[in-house]
Structure 1
Amino acid sequence: MITDPEPCSEAVEDDAPLGLCPYHLQIAHDWVAHDAGVSDLLPTPCLACGARLGVRYPSGWLCAVCEWRLGDIPDGESVAPRVDVVYYLRYGDRIKIGTSVNPRQRFAGIRHDELLAFERGNRLTERKRHAQFAAHRLDRSEWFAASDEILAHIDVLRAGIDDPWAQYALWRSQQAALHG
């Protein structure tokens, strides 16, 4: 333990959380950060999940979402986490409601203008959505007319989500963290 031979004579700021001058408050912060880490943006996206938020320790960075150590390279034995999603694609004035565990690969084979949203769920959830929006279904396909009812549902799914792909990456990282 380090002690100053004389008490500090520097002024303590009125809104300081402890009775320490700015210099000694910074020393206390650095000491705590050594064990607890400091949350900050990662220098590069996490290779495991794509997240940008990390925790910086003296020994290096960890992803704040999946705890992957920055700089570690995923090996070939890592199994990608399975996340079933129901997707909503727009093509013109039509919306496709489908499901996939590998949406990037799936979308490569579907003509579309835009990914509108993801919803966690499997074939059962997809069937529920097809039944829910049956009045707007085009023929017997997975395509639906872009009705106010469907667009309202998509708005609920997208609330607070700027990029559906970022949401999907978060779900994958959460799944990876749960299964080590």
Structure 2
Amino acid sequence: MRCAIPGCRATSEPDAPLPLCTPHLAEAGAWATRRDGVEDLLPAPCAACGARVGIRYPSGWACAVCEWRPGDVPDPDLAPPRVDVVYYLRFADRVKIGTTASPRQRFAAIRHEEVLAFERGDRRLERRRHEQFAGDRYPGSEWFRLTPLIATHIDALAGGRDPWDLHARWVSAALAARL
């Protein structure tokens, strides 16, 4: 089969996704790389979120997680971005589902043994979670029995990741978005 480029008489590569010859495939690949970049390991962990994966463009690198450009320095006069989260804290066989924009400060005031998970969201999402698990709620509180249903939900949110790492990435992505 011939290359699909008009005027090209070369044979197309038999296993290519398009009927193009080797030089035209290389040209198309180079064009896609310029436009979309190439996913690769960053030269060093992202200064904003700590991720190791980046996108390499001809003009430089960007973090694949938060889009921070290595070498960019945040304005020290900017207040940290607000990132609201719904949190899941465990104490014994109970789970507290609450919301905050300052988890470290908030958790200092709550007796707990473990931070189980975060999910991005505000009071509306918190209310939905309280309704979702209403059958397991201790009356008049934000505490719930740690049932298999709640545990499955928390495991899905956490996905095997450290909740604090996830929170740091959300904050750095919010910071990068406003620069």
TM normalised by structure 2 equals: 0.68
Counterparts of 1:129 and 1:26, CA distance in 2 = 51
Report the CA distance between 1:67 and its aligned residue.
Answer: 2.8
Separation (CA, whole Å) in 1 of partners of 2:107 and 2:146: 19
RMSD over equivalenced CA pairs, Å: 3.5
Which ranges in structure 2 are unaligned for 5 or more consecutive residues?
Answer: 1-10
1:168 matched to 2:172? The reply is no
Which residue of structure 2 lines up, in the alignment, with residue 3 of structure 1? none
The structural deviation recorded for 1:95 is 0.8
Letter in 1 for 2:160: D
Q: Which runs of 5+ in 1 are unaligned?
A: 1-10
Instruction: Say whether the 8 Å CA contact 2:67–2:173 is kept in structure 1.
Output: no
1:72-129 per-residue CA deviation (whole Å, 9 max, x = no partner) reads 2223023322121111112221111111112233334444333222222223332443
**1:101 aligned onto 2:101:** yes
Equivalent residue of 2:79, what SS?
coil
* Secondary structure class of the residue paired with 2:116: strand
Tell me the distance in 2 between the aligned counterparts of 1:168 and 1:124: 19
> Measured at CA, do residues 124 and 31 of structure 1 come closer, stay the same or move farther in structure 2, by a change above 3 Å?
closer
TM-score (norm 1): 0.68
Identical amino acids, percent of aligned pairs = 56
Q: 1:78 to 1:62 in 2, by over 3 A?
A: farther
Relative to structure 1, the CA distance from residue 14 to residue 78 in structure 2 (aligned partners, 3 Å threshold; closer, same or farther) is farther
Aligned to 1:5: none
Distance 2:133 2:32 in 1: 54
Provide the residue aligned with 1:86 in structure 2.
86
Q: Does the Cα contact within 8 Å between 1:34 and 1:57 map onto a contact in 2?
A: yes
